Structures are given as C-alpha cells and as structure tokens.
C-alpha cells in the first residue's frame, strides 16, 4: 500500500545569471535551505533534475557531485534527465521512493546553469531536446518550433495575434512580488504589442528567459514528523508521467498535447478528482503557445479556446491571480525565468508556498489543491503532480 507523502521542506535560489556560483554551489544552496526548512531532516536519497550540465558546465554525475559537496556521501544519489521535464521527473522519482517505502526521506533537487557559456553553444544544447536526426540537424530550435505551433494555431482557429498577450501580462504581474523572480516588473498590452519579434510570430514576451537556478523539496511520510511541525504540510496526492513522439512532425495533430492530456487524466484518476476541482494550475509556460495548448490538453478549455482564459472582461481573467483558475502565480516561466531542468522543482516549491499560505502578496485566497505540470519540448514528455493542503 502506498504511503502518504508530504513536502516537509522547500528551498530555492533566485532565478538569475549566477556568474559567481558554480553548479554545485547553486545545488547546495537549495538543498541546505530545504533541510533547514524541514527542521533538519537528512535525505536518504537524492534525485537531481538536470538537462544541460554535461554540455554547458562540462559536468555529469551530478548525484555524486552534489551529495559529496553537501556532506551526504553514502546516500543514494542519481541524476534524472527528461529534457525540460527533468525537474518534474526528479520529483516523481523522489515521491515514488518514499511512497513505496524504499526510503523514509528523499530529496528532489533541480539545478541548471546556463551562464557557463553564451551564444550558439546554448542553442546547440537546447536543440538536443528534440529529434537530432530530423529536427536539430535542420537547424530547428525549440523557439522556432514553438513559433511554428503558434502560427498554426493562429491559422487553424482564426485567432487574432494579440490574443496571446494576456499570458505574459498575467505572469509579469504575478512576478512583481516574487523575490526570486528574474523579472519583477509588470507589463501592459501596449508594451507587449511593441516588443521585438524573436521568431515570427513569437515576440520577446512570448518566450521565457533562460537563467540559472536551483530548487529543492524534501519528501517524507506524514507519520514520521513530530506533531508540532513548524509549518502547514502539503501532500502529494498523485504523480503521473506520459510521453508522446519526440519529433513534432510525427504527430497526426501537432496542436494536441497528448502526453499533457494523458498525464493530467492519470493524475486526476489517482487523486480521485476532476480538473475542475483544482484551485491553481502551475503550467509550463516556456512559450505563450504552450500555456494555451496545456490549458486545452488539461481540459480547462475546448480546442481553440484556451487563449480566451487570459482575456480580461467584466470579471478578472480566469487564469489571473484573482480568477477561478490562477496560473503562473509567482511569475511562472515568463517572469520567474526558465531554469531548464530545474523548473519542475521550482513549480513544486511555489505550489507548497501556496498550500502553506506563505505566498504573501501572491497568495491565492482559496488554495487547497494545486496541479503542476512540467513539459519537455512540445509535450514530448509531461509530468503532472497534484498537491493538496493537509489540515
């Protein structure tokens, strides 16, 4: 029988260009913060979510590297790589280790460092997440691929180009009060409209900035914690992972994020809920088009209608902080920044803050259940977790 798994400790670094810190130093900062937050629990297993360290930092074998640097030699430690979904996959591995009874305490740590190199070398590393033989060899980058998806969406559903503006506007508004966000300034519809084009039709605000960062969550069983634990607990009610074709051109419908849909359906089945019972959806908004397709895949909007959830009317936009389904509540990828393989763990930290009631100005008033979804590429891999507050 699966045991109830709770998040006992969380830690994160600001998402920015950490020129003066190494990969191991970033990882240690998040790890020690999570251990301290838990009251001193020591992980028996460490799962490190990372995608780019071998290419950008010239460092593999991160499990042993960070365990050694943290003074945890002897524990089980391994790197989990699943493209941009590496952080979510590391969280799932830690969850399964504790839920199965294999260990009592496990840590999911996401860490990524882009600033060790600059320019074309970063683009080349990003392209390894796609199909090397049929996509990367043709010069297709993730951003160019997202641009193709957005152009297809605009054509297929006859959507106005300005329809996507609401997503970065909401994300940047939410990032203002997040001390760990890379960008803490709100933007307007006019600023969005005037932004330079990155890959037509994507503009500067449709693409999340890549940056360095590390985040950690410490998982254990609720019955192992003292009754007077210092903060409210969040439990992981469900965990699910699904895959689709790696190459986008192999799909019968490129605008269907099938793996995202399957992972949501399976997670909701395990948690015995339906998506409508979720209070917050932390989605993978690396690109504005990803936010739209993820909302549709999760069942929150009909096909071709997801963009409407970010439109302001007489009431707040559905996905705004005061709407019925807040997203990007601490800035999301757009304002907090996109720390690559660490992003999925940042999502878990931010969800835990909401469920503890510790998100301050960004606190959603009725946060009892949060769904987080971490994607790799155009949902070639999708990891979904459902977190719930414990009374």
**Of all helices (H) and strands (E), which one includes residue 63?**
helix 62-69
State the chain's mean pLDDT as an integer: 96
Residue 138 φ/ψ, nearest 5 degrees: -90, 0
CB 321, CB 314: distance < 8 Å: no
- Judged by DSSP in three states, 369 sits in strand
CB 220, CB 236: distance < 8 Å: no
Burial class for 286, CB neighbours closer than 10 Å (0-12, 13-18, 19+): buried
Flag whether pLDDT at 4 surpasses 50: yes
Structure tokens at 123: 């683009």
**Of all helices (H) and strands (E), which one includes residue 351?**
helix 343-356
Strand pairing of 369-376 and 280-282? parallel
Flag whether pLDDT at 229 surpasses 90: no
Same fold, 5-118+210-224 and 140-208+238-389: yes
In the chain, where are the structural domains located?
5-118+210-224, 140-208+238-389
What are the distances in angstroms from CA 43 to CA 19, 40, 104, 219? 28, 10, 8, 8
Mean pLDDT of 115-142: 90
Flag whether pLDDT at 197 surpasses 70: yes
**Selection from 171, 94, 164 nearest residue 350 by Cα:** 171
Structure tokens at 166: 């609401």
Question: In this predicted model, what pLDDT tens digit does every residue of 74-116 receive, in sequence order?
Answer: 999 999 999 999 999 999 999 999 999 999 999 999 999 999 9
Flag whether pLDDT at 228 surpasses 90: no
Flag whether pLDDT at 3 surpasses 80: no
Flag whether pLDDT at 314 surpasses 70: no
CATH architecture, range 5-118+210-224: 3-Layer(aba) Sandwich (3.40)
pLDDT, position 28:
98
CB 217, CB 31: distance < 8 Å: no
Mean pLDDT of 318-345: 97
Flag whether pLDDT at 1 surpasses 60: no
Band (337; pLDDT cuts 50, 70, 90):
very high
CATH architecture, range 140-208+238-389: 3-Layer(aba) Sandwich (3.40)
């Amino acid at each position: 029988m699966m045991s109830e798994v709770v998040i006992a400790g969380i830690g994160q670094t600001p998402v920015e260009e950490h020129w003066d810190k190494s990969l191991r130093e970033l990882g240690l900062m998040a790890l020690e913060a999570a251990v301290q937050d838990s009251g001193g629990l020591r992980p028996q297993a460490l799962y490190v979510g990372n995608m780019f360290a071998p290419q950008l930092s010239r460092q593999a074998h991160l499990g042993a590297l960070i365990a050694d640097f943290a003074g945890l030699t002897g524990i089980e430690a391994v790197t989990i790589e699943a493209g941009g979904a590496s952080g979510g996959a590391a969280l799932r591995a830690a969850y399964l280790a504790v839920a199965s009874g294999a260990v009592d305490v496990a840590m999911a740590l996401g860490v990524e460092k882009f600033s060790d190199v600059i320019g074309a070398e970063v683009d080349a590393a990003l392209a390894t997440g796609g199909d090397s033989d049929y996509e990367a060899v043709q010069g297709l980058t993730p951003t160019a691929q997202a641009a193709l998806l957005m152009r297809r969406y605009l054509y297929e559903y006859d959507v106005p180009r300005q329809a996507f503006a609401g997503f970065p506007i909401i994300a940047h508004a939410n990032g203002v009060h997040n001390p760990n966000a890379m960008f803490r300034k709100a933007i307007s519809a006019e600023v969005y409209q005037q932004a330079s084009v990155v890959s037509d039709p994507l503009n500067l605000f449709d693409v999340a900035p890549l940056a360095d960062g590390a985040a950690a969550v410490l998982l254990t069983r609720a019955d192992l914690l003292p009754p007077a634990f210092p903060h409210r607990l969040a439990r992981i009610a469900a965990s699910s992972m699904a895959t689709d074709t790696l190459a986008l051109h192999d799909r019968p419908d490129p605008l269907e994020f099938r793996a995202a849909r399957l992972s949501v359906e399976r997670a909701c089945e395990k948690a015995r809920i339906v998506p409508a019972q979720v209070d917050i959806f932390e989605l993978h908004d690396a690109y504005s088009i990803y936010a739209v397709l993820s909302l549709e895949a999760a069942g929150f909007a009909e096909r071709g209608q997801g963009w409407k959830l970010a439109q302001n009317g007489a009431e707040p936009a559905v996905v705004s902080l005061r709407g019925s389904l807040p997203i990007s509540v601490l800035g999301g990828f757009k304002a907090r920044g996109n720390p690559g393989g660490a992003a999925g763990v940042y999502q878990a930290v931010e969800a835990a803050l909401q469920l503890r009631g510790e998100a301050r100005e960004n606190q959603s008033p009725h946060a009892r259940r949060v769904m987080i979804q971490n994607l790799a590429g155009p949902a070639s891999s999708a990891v979904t977790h459902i977190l719930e507050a414990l009374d």
